[in-house]
Amino acid sequence: MELHNNSTSFEISGASSRVQEKWNKPQRSRHKSVQFEEDLIHEEDPRLIYINDWRRTNDKYEFTGNGIRTSKYTLITFLPKNIFIQFHRVAYLYFLGIAALNQLPPLAVFGRTVSLFPLLFVLCVTAVKDGYEDWRRHRSDEVENNREALVLYAGQFQKKKWKKIQAGEVVKIYADETIPCDMVLLGTSDPSGIAYIQTMNLDGESNLKTRYARQETASMVLDVGAISGLIKCEQPNRNIYEFKANMEFNGQRFPLNQSNIILRGCQLKNTEWVIGVVVYAGQETKAMLNSAASPSKRSKLEIYMNRETLWLSFFLFIMCLAVAVGMGLWLERHKNQLDTLPYYRKRYFTTGRFNGKSYKYYGIYMETFFSFLSSIIVFQIMIPISLYITMELVRLGQSYFMIEDKHMYDSSSDTRFQCRSLNINEDLGQVRYVFSDKTGTLTENKMEFRRASVYGKNYGSFLIRADPLEENVHATTVEGRGQKLKSQIAIDNELMELLHKDLAGDERIAAHEFFLTLAACNTVIPIPTSSASCTESGLHEYVGAINYQGESPDEQALVAAASAYGYTLFERTSGHIVIDVNGEKLRLDLLGLHEFDSVRKRMSVVIRFPNDTVKVLVKGADSSMFSILAEDSGRNGHVRPATQSHLTEYSSQGLRTLVVAARDLTDEELSEWQCKYEDASTSLTDRSVKLRQTAAFIECKLNLLGATGIEDKLQDGVPEAIESLRQAGIKVWVLTGDKQETAISIGLSSKLLTTDMNQIIINGNSEDECRSLLADAKAKYFVKSLDCGSKYLKYKKDAEVTLDNTKSSTMPQQHSGKEEEMLSTSHALIIDGNSLVYILEKDLESELFDLATSCKVVLCCRVAPLQKAGIVDLIKSRTDDMTLAIGDGANDVSMIQMADVGVGICGQEGRQAVMASDFAMGQFRFLKRLLLVHGHWNYQRVGYLVLYNFYRNAVFVLMLFWYILSTAFSTTSALTDLSSVFYSLIYTSIPTIVVGILDKDLNDETLLQYPRLYGAGHRQESYNMRLFWITMIDTLWQSLVIFYIPVFIYSDSSIDIWSMGSLWTITVVILVNVHLAMDVQRWIFITHVAVWGSIIITYACLIAVDSIPIFPNYGTIYHLAKSPSYWLSIFLILTIALLPRFLFKVIRQNFWPSDIQIAREAEILGDQPDNLPSKSSKGSG
């Protein structure tokens, strides 16, 4: 079957994006309901579904209908609700507070309507955006709700709209249709009750999953009208991987699990039709309940920025206080004159009602207080609220360029870079620690069967270097996983020969069982691609004709390998397996299956052979298998040590190993097990624990058959990427579930570990052991760092001792042994999950932290998902350094959410990691470009953006402040109200956004060539306290210049307040734009348009406002423009204000240039710096 044809994939992507959209929009109310219902499960309050009787089903409880609503608003609720939600932001409350203050009569600084402008502007823009998004959700809801499905009504299937479907109803779905709600399968077109579904929309996995209708119901579906029964299931919850229920049907009672349920949003594939009963509908479906977003993160720079905003608030407070105190003192000094003072006139002098009363005067203290409040209104933009909006826009623009970057486009999987979080772009430029998953992240997670050890004999040893095969990989991977496996199994002829011998002799039987196990002990589904080829009996035709779909790539590789050796898995139903053994069909009854779980680390099947013997076939991780093998008997006495040494060999080559074993079951064992199994699998509570106990009952005293070695290929460019990251000063830690040897070998092949590193290995089995290991390592390390070389040999010896007392397996120590090299040797810490349990839970954390941070590389093996998060937290909570976690599987989700930056790889293990991530991409190697290029750019841009915005607003406010000091502290603004409002809204906003998105200091080539340039982010070169204070001092100087130069020029002149205001307006706008222009590093025409356009727009606005006779400032600009001293003042102010900054910049760049500056000059002047960043290689002037 061709899964990846164009038309379906187009459909899929369309549908998935819609669902994703829903997933992105969390709904608060739903969270609550989920929690509430989780409580219900604990109370064991099952949901009762009467099949084909929706009236009775809905009688007691009012279950949700199938209509969904992802939209937030209706036409009526839009305005109040949207405004209410918007005012949850502090920024808007600040705006509102200021606007409210301005409405008070004594404080009306600005015109009352004008003061509402900024708030209304922001509210409107956001409301339009929200409204548009909601309208789109309404439309998609509409489409979704009005789709039709066949519903059983009075014995016949009739079309019904989705939104009208209710729990308890029986629905029929045809192939390629989308499933409207969560349903328990009753029957399918397949007599054995199998259905295949694609869960792309739910978890992103493109392979088909099998779902079964219970045999009991599957046979009844032809007589649909007569179906009736009762399903007891758990209350709706979000877990898409679990479903617990049981069904009473025709007097029988049997369990249902997640393999019996099909979920909303999935598509039916490869199955003609299915019939199912609705259990969860609408908002209660698992797909809808899962539509919650990952917790939002805040960028570190923004946190620092908030710290500086506090400083700005402090300045604001000081200024307002100065004005208020000044006002108080001034009033006190003039209190006898106030009544008649022509420009104050405290009192009415008309005869009549008002005579003698005070006019807008409330006493000195109140006046002082009011003066404080009105200064807050005037100086409001000192707190750069607009910066938050600017930053959002800038990050949006930056994301656009990251998404569009063709160097981060993965052509093999057709995935572009995704920005799922818009808050932390600049964090990418400061990452210090990268925590990487191994499987699927560093490696491709495309498994290839490489080695086999059968009955103590090693096969496939020459294949490991089979280079012709390597070339095939690239040619075929593009076509999809199912196809790839067929063509790539290299066959060991010796093993093949063995299999063609008669079935006699221990070795031959072991080989037979070995491959039977590979073919049978899995959850892989064979799907014949065309029925015609099934009739042919040639081995190769089968291989070409069957597509294996499965959840685990390891299993697919094993099944494909078994097939290549003549054991072709041919058919799998819930009851039996058909295996084609060299042309003979072998039908095995499947009595039970214990799925793989992370506790047992193995899986087993119980099968009955045609000759009525019953066997249990087991495969699992070596650590979990050797302990349950039968005591060595004579028969396999040599097998065990031989296999173990083979395993060590495989591991050292970086292969993933599995141990295969089997045994016969006696009748008594079988019946006892069957009893337990039945009990466990029908149990509603603690099913997994009971199943595990049942499994343990038969998984014992096994006969060892052999072991397999599967190669997990490294992704393209991984070693290079890791090398670059390391040069950039980023520490790469690998956290993997694999065993130590595999992890180390992958570490070596990915250049993470080098042979000249000291490997410090921590794997203790108790707290004390871990403590002493840590202390030893630390002692050795610190001693060594004081006195290098001489202690090295001793250290090496100790390292070996460390190793020996922990594990039976021997570790190849990778030491160069050269004393002189030791001086620069770095350390690698290798620690396993067991030790981490003791270390992370106890007070040893800080010890580990000290040790780990002084090592260059840290490898953590056999770690559980939560431990991954624990390790990230170890660093995150103890340092200010930025952490990044990258992974592809569900087991990486916790780590991705914990880290400052979470990156998901769109890989083979589903989309959960991507859903939880902040950024997602197709390949690990893109991380290099993401951090070194985009991270660097974004950090530089946002850092500058923040400082510039602080400056831009502060210089304006300070200018107003100086003027207020010469107006008897009366908070007069020389600028017109409109100019004050437009200043940060229109006059100066666009250039900062454009520069924040488009400016770049260095080319990507340079940044990639010299990863050390990334250090600028680590050293916080673009944004730090020092820069903030320098900027503020510069701001102070510029504001003084801008205020006093016109005052000096126009002192003793007849200039009026509006002319002066107009001069100040235009000068401050030109000044901040030229200031920006001075710092722009890359001028493209858009930058020119934005910067110079802003000045032109300002002039246009001034001319427009001065052309309206109703304003007192009418005609000002026309009058001013005629006077030469106006123009001379502007030039004088610009030059004097910017001179110190320019001088500072020139001196700094020429005498103390930063690395970036050197690289930039080299890049532009075309020099090739040989030993950057040393000063000798500076570009010549």
CA angle 479, 485, 490 (to 5 degrees): 130
Q: Quick one: DSSP state of residue 525?
A: E
| Range 109-128, binding another protein (CB under 8 A) | 109
Is 891 annotated in some ligand binding site? yes
Q: In what order do the strands lie in the sheet with 602-608?
A: 457-459, 443-454, 703-714, 655-665, 614-620, 602-608, 584-594, 576-581, 567-572
**Residue listed under structure tokens 């694999």:** 738
Using the rule CB under 8 A, is 352 a contact of another protein?
yes
Is 244 annotated in some ligand binding site? no
Using the rule CB under 8 A, is 1181 a contact of another protein?
yes
* H helix intervals, 787-891: 792-804, 819-822, 833-841, 845-854, 865-878
Is 427 annotated in some ligand binding site? no
Is 585 annotated in some ligand binding site? no
Is 736 annotated in some ligand binding site? yes
User: CB 359 → another protein: shortest distance, Å?
Assistant: 4
Is 134 annotated in some ligand binding site? no
| Range 967-1006, binding another protein (CB under 8 A) | 967-968, 970-972, 974, 998, 1000
CB-CB contact of 595 with 259 (8 Å)? no
| Range 316-335, binding another protein (CB under 8 A) | 334
Among 252, 306, 340, 411, binds another protein (CB under 8 A): 340
Do the strands 602-608 and 614-620 form a parallel or antiparallel pair, or are they unpaired?
antiparallel
For another protein, which is the closer residue by CB, 241 or 1085? 1085
| Range 1148-1177, binding another protein (CB under 8 A) | 1149-1150, 1160-1161, 1164-1165
Interacting residues of 758 by C-beta distance below 8 A, sequence separation 6+: 795, 796, 799, 815, 825, 826, 827, 828
For another protein, which is the closer residue by CB, 121 or 344? 344
**Residue listed under structure tokens 């990334």:** 1014
Using the rule CB under 8 A, is 461 a contact of another protein?
no
Of the candidate spans 63-71, 800-808, 891-899, 1043-1051, the one that interacts with another protein by CB under 8 A turns out to be 1043-1051
Is 1093 annotated in some ligand binding site? no
**Helical (H) or strand (E) element with 440:** none
Using the rule CB under 8 A, is 578 a contact of another protein?
no
| Range 47-66, binding another protein (CB under 8 A) | none
Per DSSP, the three-state class of 470 is helix
| Range 1056-1075, binding another protein (CB under 8 A) | 1056-1061
Is 868 annotated in some ligand binding site? yes
Per DSSP, the three-state class of 754 is coil
For another protein, which is the closer residue by CB, 192 or 1081? 1081
User: CB 355 → another protein: shortest distance, Å?
Assistant: 7
Using the rule CB under 8 A, is 369 a contact of another protein?
no
Give the span between the Cα atoms of 160 and 183, in whole angstroms.
Answer: 16
Among 94, 311, 344, 388, binds another protein (CB under 8 A): 344
Q: Which of 134, 141, 437, 1155 is catalytic?
A: 437
Compute how many other C-beta atoms are within 10 angstroms of the C-beta atom of residue 17.
10
Among 345, 692, 778, 856, binds another protein (CB under 8 A): 345
- Give the torsion sign (CA, 500, 501, 507, 513): positive
Among 343, 610, 627, 633, binds another protein (CB under 8 A): 343
Residues 929-968, one symbol each (x = binds another protein by CB under 8 A, - = not), give: -------------------------------------xxx
For another protein, which is the closer residue by CB, 279 or 959? 959
User: CB 544 → another protein: shortest distance, Å?
Assistant: 41
Give the span between the Cα atoms of 204 and 181, in whole angstroms.
Answer: 18
| Range 688-747, binding another protein (CB under 8 A) | none
Is 439 annotated in some ligand binding site? yes
Per DSSP, the three-state class of 205 is coil
**Tally of residues, the chain:** 1181
For another protein, which is the closer residue by CB, 1029 or 1118? 1118
| Range 804-833, binding another protein (CB under 8 A) | none
| Range 92-111, binding another protein (CB under 8 A) | 109
User: CB 338 → another protein: shortest distance, Å?
Assistant: 10
Strand-pair partners of 188: 274
* Catalytic residue status for 130: no
For another protein, which is the closer residue by CB, 232 or 345? 345
Give the span between the Cα atoms of 534 and 1005, in whole angstroms.
Answer: 54
Is 619 annotated in some ligand binding site? yes
Token couple for 493: 């002829």
Cα distance between the two ends of the chain = 66
Is 555 annotated in some ligand binding site? yes
**Rg of the chain taking only CA atoms, in angstroms:** 37
Using the rule CB under 8 A, is 342 a contact of another protein?
yes
Of the candidate spans 17-25, 206-214, 924-932, 1045-1053, the one that interacts with another protein by CB under 8 A turns out to be 1045-1053
Of the candidate spans 170-178, 521-529, 612-620, 1049-1057, the one that interacts with another protein by CB under 8 A turns out to be 1049-1057
CB-CB contact of 883 with 899 (8 Å)? yes
Give the span between the Cα atoms of 1074 and 1138, in whole angstroms.
Answer: 9
User: CB 1058 → another protein: shortest distance, Å?
Assistant: 8
For another protein, which is the closer residue by CB, 416 or 713? 416
What is the DSSP secondary-structure string of 585-612?
Answer: EEEEEEEEEE---TTT-EEEEEEE-TTS
Using the rule CB under 8 A, is 1123 a contact of another protein?
yes
Among 808, 1051, 1168, 1171, binds another protein (CB under 8 A): 1051
Among 360, 585, 587, 1019, binds another protein (CB under 8 A): 360
Using the rule CB under 8 A, is 355 a contact of another protein?
yes
Give the span between the Cα atoms of 882 and 880, in whole angstroms.
Answer: 6
User: CB 1156 → another protein: shortest distance, Å?
Assistant: 12
Among 146, 537, 810, 1135, binds another protein (CB under 8 A): 1135
Is 888 annotated in some ligand binding site? yes
- Give the torsion sign (CA, 961, 964, 966, 969): negative
Give the span between the Cα atoms of 399 and 395, in whole angstroms.
Answer: 6
| Range 380-439, binding another protein (CB under 8 A) | 400-401, 404-406
Is 738 annotated in some ligand binding site? yes
- Give which of 498, 483, 548 is closest to 519, Cα–Cα: 548
- Number of amino acids touching another protein (CB under 8 A): 86
**180: preceding bond cis by omega (within 30 degrees):** no
Residues 1081-1120, one symbol each (x = binds another protein by CB under 8 A, - = not), give: xxxxxx----------------------xxxx-xx--xx-
Token couple for 653: 């080559």
CB-CB contact of 680 with 697 (8 Å)? no
User: Which residue type does 529 have?
Assistant: T
Show contacts of 1107-1114: CB within 8 Å, 24+ apart: 1111/976, 1112/1058, 1113/976, 1113/1058, 1113/1061, 1113/1062
Of the candidate spans 40-48, 53-61, 170-178, 1125-1133, the one that interacts with another protein by CB under 8 A turns out to be 1125-1133
Using the rule CB under 8 A, is 1144 a contact of another protein?
no
Token couple for 869: 């998060």
Q: Quick one: DSSP state of residue 238?
A: S
For another protein, which is the closer residue by CB, 27 or 970? 970
For another protein, which is the closer residue by CB, 306 or 1174? 1174
User: CB 1047 → another protein: shortest distance, Å?
Assistant: 7
Q: What Å distances lie between residue 896 and 21, 395, 731, CA to CA? A: 20, 21, 17
CB-CB contact of 95 with 103 (8 Å)? no
What is the DSSP secondary-structure string of 348-410?
Answer: --SSSTTTT-BSS---HHHHHHHHHHHHHHHTGGGS-HHHHHHHHHHHHHHHHHHHH-GGG-B
Catalytic residues: 437
Residue ranges for the known binding site for Mg(2+) are 437, 439, 888, 892
Q: Which residues are annotated as a binding site?
A: 437-439, 555, 596, 619, 656, 736-738, 862, 868, 888, 891-892
Binding region for ATP: 437-439, 555, 596, 619, 656, 736-738, 862, 868, 891-892
